[in-house]
Amino acid sequence: MRVYTADITPEMEGQKVTLYGWVHEVRDLGGLVFLLLRDREGIAQITLPKKFVSKEIFKLAKKIKRESVIKVVGEVKVEEKAPGGFEIIPESIEVLNESDAPLPLEVTEKVPAELDTRLDHRFMDLRRPRVQAIFRIRHQIMQSVREFLCEEGFIEVHTPKIVSTATEGGTELFPISYFEKEAFLNQSPQLYKQVLMGAGFEKVFEIGPIFRAEEHNTTRHLNEAISIDIEMSFTDHNGVMDVLERLVHRVYEDVAENCERYLGWLELSLEVPELPFERITYDEAIEIAAKKGEEIPWGEDLNTTALKHVGDEIGGLYFITDWPTESKPFYAMPYEDKPEISKSFDLMHEWLELASGAQRIHLYDMLVESIRAKGMEPESFRFYLEAFRYGMPPHAGWGLGAERLLMSMLGLKNVREAVLFPRDRHRLVP
Ligand code: ATP
Ligand code: MN
């Protein structure tokens, strides 16, 4: 019977099991060899006392190379000192594929490596339990997001990633050649998900890549990221903030409940945040920053220093609402009675932005005016604008960065840790 290391319990004492995995470590004590087998769920100790195992496998264990792929058939024995509280006395060990030596990277935690070296040999880095844990938790997050949004009546959609117009104009676009035309990699599904409100879907979500030609190298920016996006009709910014905070809460709950083992590998215990999340306005945020010595001229985006001050003061997960209209994209809806402020919000974790959202402008003339006011040409938004002329409902939505959410939840120092194969200013391989 094939089992994972984590499936083995003390009650299985005496039972014969088959394990598949990698040789994590070999400890050769002369007449006794310990071989640690690692599979995706953990580590098992294979114990070979010279007297009790066949000559053949004893010899094999002594010369086996680390990170080779093996199959072990053996008997479970309770052993308190071994990982998981059991050991396996092998009856056979089969090498399915021998590893080369030396290894490009250490899989055990004994020798720390620079992030760059780790990313260069990512397949090997990913074998490390701590790194595996990050992606097992990422899997849970994505599953919870999808489940939650489906339960709430959202329909999953996929919009094009090869596009002809910039979502927000500007410089953060990767141009590509598309036959005889110039095209771009989409920086956000924004325009399409709004058009789908005009199409009558009412509630849509998309989990997909966004591409941003960010020139600067920071610990929170990638050039390719996964965005969780929703758009919802007949609601406003408050309606979609409500969905967002309940979603994040649900994700935390599910991870805390289902990912105990992987949180353990990371030596983390997760605290589920309480609902509702705190809300402060942009004005309150710049006041906090100013009190701590960082003056932000009204209307400008909050820089990292300002956000660090605000994060220190508020802490945890919170919203910054009511941003100046000029600081937000053209599609953000201004308040009727104070048009210099928009019905917009960012979801923050400490100093890190996790999501941005807003009620959108659904009125054609106002939207055209807003595009012009940002110095862009309504002509280049023709397919988008058409959807606003024949019955566009009021609507709102947000985009939540999957890597930022994972990074903040696990306290990762660099967003690259949250991606299997990150793309940044200097990295296109692997
Ligand atoms: P920032 O100000 O942090 O650069 P942004 O305001 O440009 O982000 P938005 O356009 O609001 O980003 O995108 C929505 C969300 O998508 C962000 O809140 C973030 O979680 C995620 N995101 C955007 N750009 C990136 C990126 N380059 N790398 C990783 N995640 C990103
Ligand atoms: Mn934003």
**Cβ of 353 below 6 Å from ligand 1:** yes
Percentage of the chain beyond pLDDT 90 is 95
Active-site hit among 25, 106, 168, 214: 214
pLDDT-wise least confident of 10-19, 168-177, 310-319: 168-177
Which of 40, 122, 220, 246 is the catalytic position? 220
> Is residue 183 classed as helix, strand or coil in its secondary structure?
strand
- Single pTM value for the model: 0.97
Average pLDDT, the chain: 96
Residue 220: active-site member:
yes
Whether 214 is catalytic: yes
Tokens 């600081």, residue located: 327
**Atom 25 of ligand 1 has which residue's CA nearest to it?**
221
**What does the pLDDT average to over 322-332?**
97
CA dihedral 342→403→220→428, nearest 10 degrees, is -120
Is residue 41 within 6 Å of ligand 1 at its C-beta? no
Which pLDDT value is given to residue 402?
98
CA distances from 161 to 8, 170, 272, 356, 427 (A): 45, 17, 34, 20, 21
Mind listing the pLDDT tens digit for each residue in 83-115?
A: 999 999 999 999 999 999 999 999 998 888 999
199-214 pLDDT tens trace: 999 999 999 999 999 8
Residues 240-299 pLDDT 10s: 999 999 999 999 999 999 999 999 999 999 999 999 999 999 999 999 999 999 999 999
**The pLDDT value given to residue 110:** 84
For residue 171, pLDDT over 90 is answered with no
Give the C-alpha separation, 206 to 200, whole Å: 16
Ligand 2 centroid to Cα of residue 225, in Å, is 14
Cβ burial 234-252 (10 Å sphere, 16+ → b, else e)? ebbbebbbebbbebbbbbb
Tell me the β-bridge partners of 395: 233
- Cα separation, 220 vs 350, in Å, equals 13
**Rg, the chain, Cα only:** 27
DSSP-derived pairing of the beta strands 317-321 and 278-281? parallel
Q: How far apart are CA 28 and CA 43, in angstroms?
A: 17
Q: Is the CB of 422 under 6 A from ligand 1?
A: no
What backbone torsions phi and psi does residue 66 show, to the nearest 5 degrees? -60, 145
pLDDT at 112: 86
Residue from 356, 400, 408, 427 whose mutation best tests the ligand 1 pocket (most atoms within 8 A of CB): 356
For residue 170, pLDDT beyond 70: no
67: three-class secondary structure by DSSP: coil
